[in-house]
Amino acid sequence: MFPYYNELLDEEKEELTEAIKILINQTFMLERKYDNKTERYLPNRVYRICERHLDFIKEYFKISDIDVIENRQFSVIYLKSKNLQGEKLSKLTTIFILILKLIFDEQMNVASNSIHVYTTLNDVYEKIQLFRLWNNKSISPTEVRRTITALKKYQIMEILDEMGNLEGDTRFIIYPVVNLVLDGQAIAGIIEQYQEEEEEEEEPLDGQISITDQDVSE
Q: Where are the domains of the chain?
A: 2-80, 91-213
Question: What mean pLDDT, rounded, does the chain reach?
Answer: 85
Angle between helices 121-130 and 91-110 (to 10 degrees): 100
Q: What was the pLDDT predicted at 165?
A: 77
* CA pair distance 139, 151, nearest whole angstrom: 17
- Checking if the pLDDT of 151 tops 90, the result is yes
Q: Which residue has the higher pLDDT, 158 or 115?
A: 158
Nearest alpha-carbon partner for 76 in 214, 149, 176: 176
The DSSP result for 110-145, as a single string, is H-SS---EEEEHHHHHHHHHHTT---SS---HHHHH
- Given a contact cutoff of 8 angstroms between Cβ atoms, the answer to whether 79 and 177 are in contact is no
Name the percent of the chain lying above pLDDT 90. Answer: 59
- Checking if the pLDDT of 207 tops 60, the result is no
- Checking if the pLDDT of 119 tops 80, the result is yes
Q: What was the pLDDT predicted at 198?
A: 40
Q: In 7-90, where does DSSP find H-type helix?
A: 10-26, 45-52, 54-62
Residue 125, phi-psi category: left (phi > 0), alpha (psi -120 to 50), beta (remainder):
alpha
- Predicted TM-score (pTM) of the model is 0.84
Confidence band for 115, pLDDT divided at 50, 70 and 90:
low
- Checking if the pLDDT of 67 tops 70, the result is yes
Domain 2-80 sits in CATH 1.10.10 = yes
**Domain at 91-213: CATH code:** 1.10.10
Report the first-to-last Cα separation within the chain, whole angstroms. 25
* CA pair distance 43, 45, nearest whole angstrom: 6
- Checking if the pLDDT of 212 tops 70, the result is no
Give the pLDDT mean for 111-139.
Answer: 83
H helix or E strand, kind and range, residue 109: helix 91-110
- Checking if the pLDDT of 203 tops 60, the result is no
- Neighbouring CB atoms inside 10 A of 3's CB total 6
- Given a contact cutoff of 8 angstroms between Cβ atoms, the answer to whether 180 and 104 are in contact is no
Confidence band for 194, pLDDT divided at 50, 70 and 90:
low
